[in-house]
Amino acid sequence: MRIAIAGSSGRMGRSLIECVLKDPGLKLSGALEQPGHALLGKDAGEFAGVATGVAVTSDFAAVLAQSDAIIDFTRPAGTLAHLDACLKAGRKMVIGTTGFSEAEKARIAQAAKKIAIMFAPNMAVGVNVTFKLAEIAARSLGDDYDVEIIEAHHRHKVDAPSGTALKLGEVVAAALGRDPAKVFAHGREGDTGERDPKEIAFHAIRGGDIVGEHTVMFAGMGERVEVTVRSSSRATYATGALRAVKFLKDKENGLYDMQDVLGLK
């Protein structure tokens, strides 16, 4: 498959390029950046001391013309612009961008009626297994356990809570039969009163170079169960994204997530 990478000079973009170059079943067909970016025209593998023959460009249409799929870990506005272009060109997308509104998620779902899209807040295999473990724990422990979700990321992350933390909350809420709009809470300060037993609370930590850590805490009377996943390298997200793009190879359309890719549904 011919794979293009959006946001190619970012931390995730570089990890994705390195992983694509190492995979004999994939070919790097494009490296995209915004107009005016300092690296436009440079070889996409220059950061790693590798000549790929693929120059960083902002010409999305030209890249799409020679690609089978695009992997996008950027920002919502950019991803949605790429989505429109992929829709017109009939190209597949793997979307790892987070921070979408409900209306924007609906746009992605609508586009998936015509093209194949793998959309997940976190592509790491271990994280997606954690989603399943959290679901099992919530169903087994039930309403007798309070749920708190703690996540930590590097100082440069711009959205909070992380998309992964929110997904964990959605998984737990579904398992417990709760409406996220009514039970999600974010942080605490001051005289908050007694905890609502139905509440699912989120706490975000930002600092240093933390790649990503997520814990779902089920706190009961006399015991505490914690499901935790810690990522020490962005390569886990990149390898998961490549597994996802291969999953889409024979798909004409449809909206999929990593649970589909891993056969966990």
- The DSSP bridge partners found for residue 71 are 5, 94
Structure token pair of residue 72: 């996008």
Upstream peptide bond of 161 is cis (omega within 30 degrees of 0): yes
Q: Which of 92, 104, 95 is nearest to 12 (CA)?
A: 95
Query: Which residues are part of the catalytic machinery?
Result: 153, 157
Q: Which of 187, 120, 122 is nearest to 148 (CA)?
A: 187
Structure token pair of residue 208: 């240093």
Contact 219, 146 (CB under 8 A): yes
3-state secondary structure of 20: helix
Distances (CA, A) of 12 to 81, 128, 141, 188, 226: 19, 18, 36, 32, 28
Distances (CA, A) of 95 to 69, 76, 78, 227: 11, 10, 11, 25
Amino acid at 37: H
Structure token pair of residue 53: 């023959």
What is the rounded CA–CA span in Å between residue 133 and residue 128? 9
